[in-house]
Chain A
Amino acid sequence: MSINPDVSRRTLLRRAAAAGLLAVPAAGLLSACAGSEPSQSNEAGGTKNKDNPFGIKDGSAVKVVIFNGGLGDAWAKEDKVVFNAKHANVTVNMSSTQKIKTEEQPKMATQPSDLVMNSGADMMDISTLVNEGAIEPLDDLLTAPAWDSEGTVADTLLPGTVEDGTFQGKFYVVNVAYTVWGNWYNGALFSKEGWEAPKTFDEFFALAPKIKAKGIAPYVHDAVHGYYPRWALMATIWKSAGKQAVVDIDNLKENAWKADGVLPALQAWEKLVKDKLLLPGKLDHTQSQQAWLDGKAAFIQVGTWLKNEMSATIPPGFEMKLSDYWGLGASDKAPKDVFAGAGEGLVVPSKAPNKAAAKEFLRAALSKSGSAKFAELTKSLASTKGSGDNVQDTSLTTANELMKNAPKDLIKTKFFDFYADLDKESQNLSEELMAGRLTAQQFVDKMQAAADKVAKDSSIKKQTRTA
């Protein structure tokens, strides 16, 4: 889920070409990759057993592409070690990149890699991959025996992991990282000043003047990538209006954005902006996170990859602590629900030459030993239960704490995974609201209009969410 908007020279040039000096090259590049003959598969052939449930062939090779973002790629190399412990004669060709779509999309229709970690700013659109049949359903992975514990793979996963990878009734995406979102603060600063981390917006608005008096901005946000503030807005909407309201929004139900509780949730954010509680300036994610680390702002909202992403510049004595998103108070329908879920999804392309080994690699990655290494290296929870039990770290323990007290329902929004148009619109409007150019009422009206437009557009394939 972590992002690196920096663009390498090569990619930029390719993009520049794709967009076209004459735009003619654009049309050319877009097309250059389609319609060729699919590659020959060297699938399976090995014997299936408990230690080799997918029947991978000795001596075969599997190509794994890892997204090298906020979590780095060191954990994946550990998974390779775990994998090779059982399959010494299978070669894992691992590479990592930040440009998943740029590098992998052109190969999807012809000769894709066997396992692709589809993540980051440059990820392939998941609903498109599913609709086009470009990725493989992985339901047999869930029912396969767990790598190094009792039961099946599904038994070892944290709640939400299977749901998060399921599209149109089938399990497609293995999300390896378990992320918890919320408001971060510096524990050391708060205990020094005697401040209490707020639980509701009202408590925050009461605390804000005290923070301001110390010359600190109460809040800082990413003003470049609209999906950052959108997490916070959707979390507040969920807490205030309840789960059903968000499910209705995801299902494009009529007047879903006008449901009770949606508008007040957004008005809390509107007030935060109007009261000038934001750090001035239009910073991006790392700039805003650094400003927070530098003590210019008291709160920032982001997920648990934060620690790993900023590890190089955390000042000594800084105590990263995670607290739950704020609700509105007594009127909240789901005040205790936590925004968490499995992210950083790995997919197996339908035309991958060695799908069996790709699935086996996933089984290894979800193992006890693999996931413990993951938590240790990334300071972020893995989707496998108990991955963080032996890691000492305030950000990880506060996240753990939050998960322990969380009800079974996790805050989850789907519409932006379902529909690219709504994704773009909601990102843009979130930034407009945070910039003070939009009121909460206008936000609701515009989102409703955009949702209605998608609902009416017959060229867009509709998806529904039940839970």
Chain B
Amino acid sequence: MRHGVARFVTGFLALPVALYLFYVVWPFAQAAGYSLTSWGGYSDNQEFVGLDNYVRLLSDELIRKAFWHNVFFLVTVPLFTIGLALFLAFLLNVGGREDRAGIRGVFGSGVYKVIFFFPQVLSLVVISVMWQQIYRSDSQGLINGLLIKIGLVDADNPIAFTADPEPFLGVPAVLWWLLLIAVWSGAGFYMVLFSAAMQSIPKDIYEAAILDGAGRFHTFFRVTLPLLRDTISVAWVYLGFIALDMYALVFVMTPSQGGPNHASEIFASVLNFTAFQKGQFGYACAMGVALAIFTILLAAAQLRITRRERIEY
């Protein structure tokens, strides 16, 4: 009988595992292989160069710059997205007035939920096209047009948005403008995720807290946040992956895909340039592998640090 089950399970798993091995694991292995060669990408000529590509990676100034930009996103994207999502989820679920029906969200929370989730439904291209119009850097841009009309911005000196490399808090302005888009488009999804988690917290815990005289502030920090720990930690890992990517936004929104003058260069844009413009696929593969290792280490570290005893409820 048991044997039959095993066969049944194997039968179902064989195909997906085979597909996974062929389309995911095998290309990974190939990439790792190419990263040890000086392959140019357009021919069969692959010369083995050992770890040369990795050594070169360490002294590549552009990669270093890109790395720090990725680190910027790694810190800010999860921080702001989770912060905003938590705030919204709290208001929508338990932020309202309590009455005989118990704890509830602010008035009209159902409508807000749909609105906040909406960016998640849009494709990246739609989002980019939309933000290109919002960020357009003359009087026809949504923000510039409005600010010029009310006199807050000089028409001869409009906001340059993603074409602006000047540092703000030590980070090129273009990165902050990209961050805004990333947070805007991501917060809705995590709001829904946190909402679901909050709804599974028993209402009587909140009621007990309120009876004890806890205000919204205390309810949030003493009850909600500790009980959402697991969910937030998972969200943090996901957002970490997104922050290490960011390629689509950089590719579509910035001048020269990583500009102006390398001000928004990230790992993926350097990788793309190296592979497809410079024709150094071997070196580009080394970048990809290095980023993969970095990502895996980061995820492992993050899950380990945030691991704690579970609260059962």
Considering the complex, give the chain B residue whose CB is closest to the CB of A110: B44
Number of residues from B at the complex interface, CB < 8 A? 69
User: A128-B40, A424-B256 in contact; A280/B138 too (CB < 8 A)?
Assistant: yes
A283, CB-defined interface residue at 8 Å: yes
Select the stretch in B29-37, B175-183, B215-223 that faces chain A.
B29-37
Contact, CB under 8 Å: B255 / A423:
no
Considering the complex, give the chain A residue whose CB is closest to the CB of B273: A424
Select the stretch in B93-101, B109-117, B197-205, B279-287 that faces chain A.
B279-287
Binary interface profile of A, 3-19, with partner B (CB < 8 Å = 1, else 0)? 00001110011011011
Contact, CB under 8 Å: A23 / B292:
yes
Contact of B291 among A23, A133, A226, A420 (CB under 8 A): A23
Contact, CB under 8 Å: B245 / A21:
yes
Contact, CB under 8 Å: A30 / B160:
no
A223, CB-defined interface residue at 8 Å: yes
- Complex CA gap A385/B247 in Å reads 45
Contact, CB under 8 Å: A7 / B42:
no
User: A282-B163, A431-B261 in contact; A132/B275 too (CB < 8 A)?
Assistant: no
Q: How many A-B contacts if CB must be within 8 Å?
A: 206
- Complex CA gap A105/B272 in Å reads 13
**Which residues of B lie under 8 Å from residue A34 when comparing CB positions?**
30, 34, 39, 41, 44, 46, 281
Contact, CB under 8 Å: A24 / B284:
no
> Nearest chain A CB to B104's CB is how many angstroms away?
37
Considering the complex, give the chain B residue whose CB is closest to the CB of A460: B278
Contact of A19 among B42, B272, B281 (CB under 8 A): B272
**Which residues of A lie under 8 Å from residue B38 when comparing CB positions?**
459
A432, CB-defined interface residue at 8 Å: yes
Contact, CB under 8 Å: B271 / A132:
no
- Complex CA gap A35/B26 in Å reads 14
**Which residues of B lie under 8 Å from residue A138 when comparing CB positions?**
none
Within 8 A of A (CB), among B1-46: 24, 27-28, 30-35, 38-46
Contact of B279 among A19, A224, A291, A420 (CB under 8 A): A420
**Which residues of B lie under 8 Å from residue A276 when comparing CB positions?**
156
- Complex CA gap A456/B256 in Å reads 25
Contact, CB under 8 Å: B279 / A125:
yes
Contact, CB under 8 Å: A30 / B292:
no
Contact, CB under 8 Å: A30 / B125:
no
- Complex CA gap A291/B277 in Å reads 31
Binary interface profile of A, 124-160, with partner B (CB < 8 Å = 1, else 0)? 1101110111100000000000000000000000000
- Complex CA gap A111/B138 in Å reads 46
> Nearest chain A CB to B204's CB is how many angstroms away?
40
Number of residues from A at the complex interface, CB < 8 A? 62
**Which residues of A lie under 8 Å from residue B289 when comparing CB positions?**
27
**Which residues of B lie under 8 Å from residue A329 when comparing CB positions?**
none
- Complex CA gap A428/B254 in Å reads 12
**Which residues of B lie under 8 Å from residue A435 when comparing CB positions?**
163, 260
Considering the complex, give the chain B residue whose CB is closest to the CB of A283: B138
A281, CB-defined interface residue at 8 Å: yes
Contact, CB under 8 Å: A23 / B268:
yes
Contact, CB under 8 Å: A9 / B255:
no
A451, CB-defined interface residue at 8 Å: no
Considering the complex, give the chain B residue whose CB is closest to the CB of A128: B279
User: A7-B251, A20-B268 in contact; A280/B155 too (CB < 8 A)?
Assistant: yes
**Which residues of B lie under 8 Å from residue A108 when comparing CB positions?**
42
Contact of B46 among A23, A35, A282 (CB under 8 A): A35
**Which residues of A lie under 8 Å from residue B172 when comparing CB positions?**
none
Contact, CB under 8 Å: B123 / A9:
yes
Considering the complex, give the chain B residue whose CB is closest to the CB of A296: B138
Contact, CB under 8 Å: B163 / A129:
no
A101, CB-defined interface residue at 8 Å: yes
- Complex CA gap A281/B255 in Å reads 13
A273, CB-defined interface residue at 8 Å: no
**Which residues of A lie under 8 Å from residue B241 when comparing CB positions?**
21-22
B81, CB-defined interface residue at 8 Å: no
> Nearest chain A CB to B197's CB is how many angstroms away?
23
> Nearest chain A CB to B175's CB is how many angstroms away?
16
B137, CB-defined interface residue at 8 Å: yes
Contact, CB under 8 Å: A31 / B155:
no
Within 8 A of A (CB), among B30-85: 30-35, 38-46
> Nearest chain B CB to A447's CB is how many angstroms away?
13
Binary interface profile of A, 281-301, with partner B (CB < 8 Å = 1, else 0)? 111000100010000000000
Contact, CB under 8 Å: A105 / B41:
yes
Considering the complex, give the chain B residue whose CB is closest to the CB of A276: B156
- Complex CA gap A431/B164 in Å reads 11
Greatest chain A CB density within 10 A among B31, B43, B136, B273 is at B43
User: A12-B252, A16-B245, A128-B40 in contact; A420/B295 too (CB < 8 A)?
Assistant: no
Contact, CB under 8 Å: B272 / A18:
yes
- Complex CA gap A34/B252 in Å reads 28
B262, CB-defined interface residue at 8 Å: yes
- Going nearest first, the 3 A-B pairs with the smallest beta carbon separation are A281-B138, A28-B27, A27-B31
Apart from A28-B28, A30-B285, A291-B138, list 17 A-B contacts with CB within 8 A: A9-B124, A16-B245, A19-B247, A19-B269, A19-B272, A20-B291, A27-B31, A31-B285, A34-B281, A105-B42, A105-B276, A125-B278, A223-B255, A280-B156, A281-B137, A282-B255, A437-B261
Sampled A-B contacts (7; CB under 8 Å): A20-B247, A23-B288, A23-B291, A34-B34, A223-B137, A224-B163, A226-B259
A-side interface residues toward B, CB under 8 Å? 7-9, 12-13, 15-16, 18-32, 34-35, 38, 101, 105, 108-109, 124-125, 127-129, 131-134, 223-226, 276, 279-283, 287, 291, 420-421, 423-424, 427-429, 431-432, 435, 437, 459
